[in-house]
Amino acid sequence: MQKPTANRKKAVIKIIVLLVFAITAIYIVRFTPIKGYLTAEALGRFLDTAGFWAPAVFMVIYALGVCFFVPGTVLTGLGAAIFGAYWGFVYVWVGAMVGASAAFLIGRTLGREFAASLIGDKLKKYDDAIERNGFATVLYLRLVYFPFTPMNFGMGLTKVRFWDYFFGTALGIIVGTFIFTFFIGTIKDVWASGNWGELISFKVFFSIGLFVSSLFIPKIIKRLRGEV
């Protein structure tokens, strides 16, 4: 049986690896040529070279982007702009789920032991509550648009069960993802057609209405929960 000091040392090494990974990932995305691909034009040209496999390549890129701290809104907007409102939603949702799951497992593997060592009696009850109500907690935080990437890694540091996290995320991001991809995809279609008269159409107004209404989702959910 390992001594507490050995366990502590192992946990510290893991958290250092996690921090180095995070810093390296952010550096790669922000300060290397990869940053230049985070536009619809550049990424679209790259995906054209993949041909039939373009959707699969995009989903892999989305998942890697999530793990490398690329904002989810950027990746979602790219998916909608390249693939349109409907297929964009499908590919974005799958990519987001793969990336969110991978980020959770990275956080769980490298950071959970260290986080557990810092939890005192006061925080332990919250950690235990998250474990008991994992699905509901994750679903609620997704619906109120808690920052996507920090939550992916952060939940890995808690006692929440993986499948509670997975299904809470799967259900919780559907609404926001569809609304955002539908809005961006619709505007993209009008832009691509060059027919600006289509801006005055039911589909455009509907997409704008959905997008604006989505901004009130967090407030509505909090009100339903009796929060201020």
Residues 134-164: tens digit of each pLDDT: 899 999 899 888 889 889 999 999 989 999 9
C-alpha to C-alpha distance for 41 and 81, rounded to whole angstroms: 9
Confidence of residue 8 (pLDDT cuts 50, 70, 90): confident
Confidence of residue 194 (pLDDT cuts 50, 70, 90): low
Of the candidates 65, 66, 56, which has an alpha carbon nearest to the alpha carbon of residue 90? 56
The yes-or-no verdict on residue 44 having pLDDT over 70 is: yes
Helix (H, G, I), strand (E, B) or coil at 50: coil
Instruction: For residue 17, tell me if it sits in a domain.
Output: yes
Give the mean model confidence (pLDDT) for residues 38-59.
Answer: 93
Instruction: For residue 195, tell me if it sits in a domain.
Output: no
Instruction: For residue 213, tell me if it sits in a domain.
Output: no
Instruction: For residue 30, tell me if it sits in a domain.
Output: yes
* Domain extent for 98: 4-176
Instruction: For residue 63, tell me if it sits in a domain.
Output: yes
pLDDT tens, 70-129? 988 899 999 999 998 899 999 999 999 999 999 999 999 998 888 877 776 666 777 788
**pLDDT on residue 78:** 94
Beta-carbon contacts of residue 75 (< 8 Å; ≥ 6 apart)? 61, 62, 65, 66, 92, 95, 96
> Is residue 110 packed enough to be buried (19+ CB in 10 Å), middle (13-18) or exposed (0-12)?
buried
Structure tokens at 3: 């001594």
C-alpha to C-alpha distance for 64 and 169, rounded to whole angstroms: 17
Structure tokens at 79: 């998916």
Structure tokens at 74: 């950027």
**pLDDT on residue 62:** 97
**pTM of the entire predicted model:** 0.84
H or E element in which residue 136 lies = helix 134-143
Instruction: For residue 228, tell me if it sits in a domain.
Output: no
- Highest mean pLDDT among 132-136, 164-168, 206-210 belongs to 164-168
Q: DSSP states of 207-224 as a string?
A: HHHHHHHHTTHHHHHHHH
Instruction: For residue 157, tell me if it sits in a domain.
Output: yes
Q: DSSP states of 31-70 as a string?
A: HSGGGGG-SHHHHHHHHHTTGGGHHHHHHHHHHHHHHTT-
Number of domains in the chain: 1
Instruction: For residue 142, tell me if it sits in a domain.
Output: yes
